Amino acid sequence: MIQIGSYTLPSRTVLAPMAGVTDLPFRQLCKRFGAGLVVSEMITSDSRLWNSRKSQWRMNHQGEQEPRAVQIAGSDPEMMAEAARLNAEKGAQIIDINMGCPAKKVCKKAAGSALLADEALVKNILQAVTQAVDIPVTLKIRTGSSPEQRNGLTIAKLAEDCGIQALSVHGRTRSCKFRGNAEYDTIAEIKQAIRIPLFANGDITTPQKAKTVIEYTGADGVMIGRAAQGKPWIFQQINAFLATGKLLAEPESEQIKSVLLEHLAALHSFYGDFMGVQIARKHVGWYLKEHNNTEPFRKQFNSLVDAQHQIEAIEHYFETAQHTEEIAA
């Protein structure tokens, strides 16, 4: 079992923090399907911005199962330390530091994966945050700033020395963003050099790929990001395959319908009807992305402005769809 501080994770699968995706309703759903740890959406280290509606949603952990993990992002060591302290006071039980996000709006502020190019600053941030709180601090990184500067190994050793208690590594550099294929050689090299738990991340989309990556890298577990969008049961599938070597059957359309309706109801309740309806649209698109001939329905669904109408539309869609022709298992 994987240990992070005093917390023993119940599985080897972790939900990656994703802005605009890993809100409380989605985290709770993934947890129910076997994610051993779920991490909040990225929260800015600038606490002056926390009064915004978006930040309040991101910092809402009401009813969330332990351990509650919060990701913070920024480039100023003192602000990062203060953000960690304040989030711990608000109920965070694990602080995760973002040094993996390649998004332009994050990197232009010298945060996220842009930090990897400045090892001295990385050290200052890690020391400041780990010394500021008495709860576990984890770190998410990429393999380096660019293919020419893969310094992930150096950053990983630095992280362990600074008291980081678990590390997640995405198998691409900052400059790669999400292009090309993730590489796992660097992750394997990092795992050989550190003693803290390591989660491999990047292009892990199936139970078979999860097992292959764990065996190749020696990683303690896997972090799942985009593959969980519209498919929260992927954690259950990976956990079962790692434990038994057997593949679980894909959920039947009735099961998918039930999960989707549950997710929609949670979004409507969490955000309220207006924002809940808008946010539901992208999730429905993800749930239906592997289904055939969904474009007309999705266009019609995205025009709906009422929560109840969204529920009714999904119920009607699944009632009328042909399992073998219109819904890919």
* Residue 52, pLDDT score: 63
Query: Hey, what long-range contacts does 255-263 have (CB within 8 A, 24 or more apart)?
Result: 256/287, 256/318, 256/327, 257/314, 257/315, 257/318, 259/29, 259/232, 259/233, 259/287, 260/284, 260/287, 260/314, 261/311, 261/314, 261/315, 262/29, 263/25, 263/26, 263/29, 263/232, 263/287
Residue 154: CB atoms within 10 A of its CB come to: 15
* Residue 321, pLDDT score: 74
Question: The pTM is what?
Answer: 0.91
* Residue 109, pLDDT score: 52
Q: Of 101, 107, 162, 176, which is the active-site residue?
A: 101
* Residue 51, pLDDT score: 67
Distance CA 25, CA 316 (A): 23
Tell me if residue 101 is catalytic. Answer: yes
CA dihedral for 306, 308, 309, 315, sign (positive or negative): positive
- Per domain, the residue ranges of the chain are 2-244, 253-320
Q: Which CATH number fits domain 2-244: 1.10.3720.10, 3.40.50.10490, 3.20.20.70, 3.30.70.20?
A: 3.20.20.70
Judge if 2-244 and 253-320 fold alike in CATH terms: no
Q: Are the C-beta atoms of residues 76 and 122 closer than 8 Å to each other? A: no
Q: Give Cα separations from 240 to 11, 38, 236, 244, 249 (angstroms).
A: 10, 18, 6, 6, 11
Q: Give Cα separations from 117 to 74, 141, 169, 247 (angstroms).
A: 14, 12, 16, 41
Residue 234 φ then ψ, to 5°: -60, -30
* Residue 174, pLDDT score: 72
pLDDT beneath 70: ranges in the chain? 47-49, 51-57, 59-60, 101-113, 146, 175-177, 322-329
As its CATH architecture, domain 253-320 has Orthogonal Bundle (1.10)
